[in-house]
Amino acid sequence: MKSHFAALAIALMLAAPSAALAQARSKGAVKVGVLLPLTGNTAWAGKTNRIAATIAAEEVNAQDLAGGYGIELVFGDSQCEPRAAHDQAQRLISQEKVQLLIGEWCSSASIAVAQVANDEKVPLLVNISTADQIAGDAGPYAFQSSMQNRYAQQREAALLEKDFKFDSVAIIVENNDFGLTFRKNMVALMQKAGKKVVLDVTQDRNDTNWYSTITRIPNAKPDLVIVSISAVQAANFVKQYAEAGITTPLFSDYPPPPRIFERQVGAQAGKIGLTRAAFFIESDTNTPAQKEFVGKLTARVQKDLNEDHHPTHWDIASYDAVRLVADAIKRGGPKAADYLKAMGATKIDLVMGHYEFDAERGVKPEGLNFLVIRNKPDGTLEVVQ
């Protein structure tokens, strides 16, 4: 008799995933277009974000998290460029017949996608780009689940006032949507705090030579240098800053993620004691949900790409985005009007934190983590705040 009940229990356990999977398809499949930079300078991020999104979709379907709908992801290579992102969004809508969109990575590309989404009346979740008001300015079809620049910079400015002694600053940014909104916000915050901006420079993101800008720093004599430079250019800047022998403390809003960035710059970041913002770093302080995600993604990247990977907050943002979309479908269905209403009413705890949206369809920052980290001379990283 005991063996009979044991066999029955095992049979029920094996049947449970199949039953959930069948339920997940009972109302049909929802095609979700995901725009990521799969080629170009930021492909290093796009390929792991694709895996993170795929894991989320598999879990949604296996656990019936979309309320009887199955999720089918269709990827587009948006290259972190506005034109490519625009064209890929159009392709996903017109040719692949996606009902919903997620993406992009770079703010200028997300703005282009948001225009397409609004014109075509296809809901979009901007999951990574942080330029201010992408959703608010795009129209009613866009939501933004990443913390916007102005909120991050408010936290950064508060930290700088608390932990750094300075009266004057140099502000150096890339000449793009992300960099210019950072510049606008940080200049205003520094002025409000009574700090003098003695150097204010923008530079084209394709210009790899930062020496001409860096050599202006000693003459300006700032007490602190604040930069917002993305991807490969951040590594170029830090290397050239260290090689120039500049000793002025450096704070960076947006280099590539922890450990990936360290591989790019070697010992240079520790040499200058680089301090920077981050939304996530793999450490013992991670929440249980974050530790579980790290384990899943690390193993999957090793399996699919045969490489070691330290998960980043961008990986988490892509995973959480698919879960947010599924949750909204579960509560409202995939039809645009109902889905948008459900997304606006979102209240959910996921890997990055707690997600709710404000009246302009941007995520409320209170629920999301924010860290400041510093490179130490021995090559390790420490959490400052």
Two structure tokens written together for 289: 């949900």
Share of the chain above pLDDT 90, in %: 57
Q: How confident is the model at residue 277, as a pLDDT? A: 84
Q: Which residues of 11-34 are buried (b: 16+ CB within 10 A; e: fewer)?
A: eeeeeeeeeeeebbeeeeebbbbb
Residue 49 has pLDDT above 70, yes or no: yes
Q: How confident is the model at residue 122, as a pLDDT? A: 97
Two structure tokens written together for 211: 């020496």
Two structure tokens written together for 139: 């129209």
pLDDT confidence of 153, banded at 50, 70, 90? confident
Q: How confident is the model at residue 2, as a pLDDT? A: 47
For the stretch 96-138, pLDDT in tens is 999 999 999 888 899 999 999 999 999 999 999 988 899 999 9
Select the more confidently predicted residue: 138 or 42: 138
pLDDT confidence of 7, banded at 50, 70, 90? low
Cβ burial of 165 (10 Å; 0-12, 13-18, 19+) is: exposed
Handedness of CA 355, 361, 366, 369 (dihedral sign): positive
Residue 149 has pLDDT above 70, yes or no: yes
Model's pTM, two decimal places?
0.85
Query: Which of 3, 61, 117, 38 shows the shortest CA–CA distance to 329?
Result: 61
Q: At what angle do helices 177-192 and 107-120 cross, to 10 degrees?
A: 110
* φ, ψ for residue 28, nearest 5 deg: 100, 175
CA dist 96 → 76, 81, 204, 288, 338 (Å)? 10, 21, 35, 37, 22
Instruction: Return d(Cα 206, Cα 203) in angstroms, integer.
Output: 9
Lowest mean pLDDT among 195-199, 210-214, 276-280, 354-358: 276-280
Instruction: Return d(Cα 193, Cα 195) in angstroms, integer.
Output: 6
Q: How confident is the model at residue 382, as a pLDDT? A: 84
Cβ burial of 141 (10 Å; 0-12, 13-18, 19+) is: buried
